[in-house]
Amino acid sequence: MKISIRPEQPADIHEIYDLNKLVFGQDNEAKLIDHVRQGPNFIPELSLVAFSDNELIGYILFSRITIANGEYRHQSLGLASMIVHPAYQKRGIGAKLITYGLQKATELKAL
């Protein structure tokens, strides 16, 4: 199976929302993604989709986070969502999304 991974495009947003609802059985996670997209911590290059034969089969979203403890503050990345279509789970697609995302984050100096 050939898998391609790329940043999401506006045309993908509805499919990402539907895939979240399918995987989680509700739309809470999909709403969280929409919320992150609209906020200041969204990094468009780290909102990634996985396709196989023009079918959206996976999604991952990394966003900026601040880790704080008292006066200590550290900027990092959080993984806000990762989903793989049930028919494609346990095939390493999630691992590929994570690996690709971390490589892209390193290129962007987001880590």
- Average pLDDT over every residue of 69-83: 90
User: For residues 76-111, b (16+ Cβ closer than 10 Å) or e, as one string?
Assistant: ebeebbbbbbeebeeeebbebbeebbbebbeeeebe
Lowest mean pLDDT among 26-30, 82-86, 105-109: 26-30
- CATH code that applies to domain 4-107: 3.40.630.30
Q: Domain spans of the chain? A: 4-107
Q: What is the pLDDT of residue 108?
A: 93
pTM score, whole prediction: 0.91
Task: Using a pLDDT cut of 90, give the percent of the chain over it.
Answer: 81
The string of pLDDT tens digits covering residues 36-65 is 999 999 999 999 999 999 999 999 999 999
